Chains A and B, each alone.
Chain A
Amino acid sequence: MHLKALCAVAAAAFLLTACSKKPESQAEVQHDVAKAEAEGQRDVADARADAQQANADADKQVADAIADQDEKDVAKEAHDANETFDKGKSKITIAQAEADHKVAVEKCEALTAPAQKECKDNADRALDQVKEAAKTYR
């Protein structure tokens, strides 16, 4: 019985220690934020480049269909090109939101435990909202 109580107290103490994470120093936060910003910018640039390439390829398919004077094919390729464009737009939007999320989370590290959790939850919610909205592009 004593052992069980002792285990419970130990577990509670462990959880309390783990949860009450100390805020990071200002310098650490600044470093991590800068790193997250750089990573995010790279990810967005990659998403943008991928989308541009995909759009160019899709447009070429449409141009080829036009050159072949195949109306059905033109309609199909044009439809596909529109889908490609919408997907690309969605991916760029999500990449941007994820980049913003990374930075926001790193900034949260400067806060103390309860505020930090709320800060991170807000960041998560913002990301989810953008992801949900981006689905309508497709």
Chain B
Amino acid sequence: MKLQIHKNYKIKSDSELVDLLRDKKRISEKAFEAIFDRYSYNVNAYVRTVIGDADDSADIFQETFIRFYNNIINGAEITNLQSYLIKISRNLCLNYKRDKKNNVEVEDFHKIVNEENFYENQELLEIVMRALDLMDDKYKEAFVLKKIDGMKFEEVANVLDLTLEGAKTRVNRARIKLLEILDPYIKDLEFKDK
């Protein structure tokens, strides 16, 4: 008989893993690890994009999973695990942002990107993330949920408490805005590797 070690919890569904979180500690620990491995990237992507600051976003990322675990232990019922995690992190981000103002201006972005051949030395993703900082949070988070976390428009609408059409509009406006900001810098790129 051949057996893949360490794989069994990774093939369980979200709802199975959530149920196992309430089991005895040894099983709960393994279920949590499987959930963490499955969604930590998505949560971190959302928090990093919305918050920007690496230290603050790390705090919110950690708090998200600790709150999630405690909520489940205390009997919280969930239907969509990823959306639930993102909602926790979103609430934490909103609390954090309440007293903060995004002071980045378009001129600042152009200045940063033009300095020291920034564009030539950075991955396009890095530049896109800088450009996202210029947007309102409502567009930024819609964009990251759809394009980075890979959510469906229905899930984006659920997390952001929007209609399906509203979620779609926000994501597409973010994409168009992003293109406008990056347009001068993508000109030189133009499929250079192709």
Do A and B actually bind? no
**Interfacial residues, chain A to chain B (CB-CB below 8 A):** none
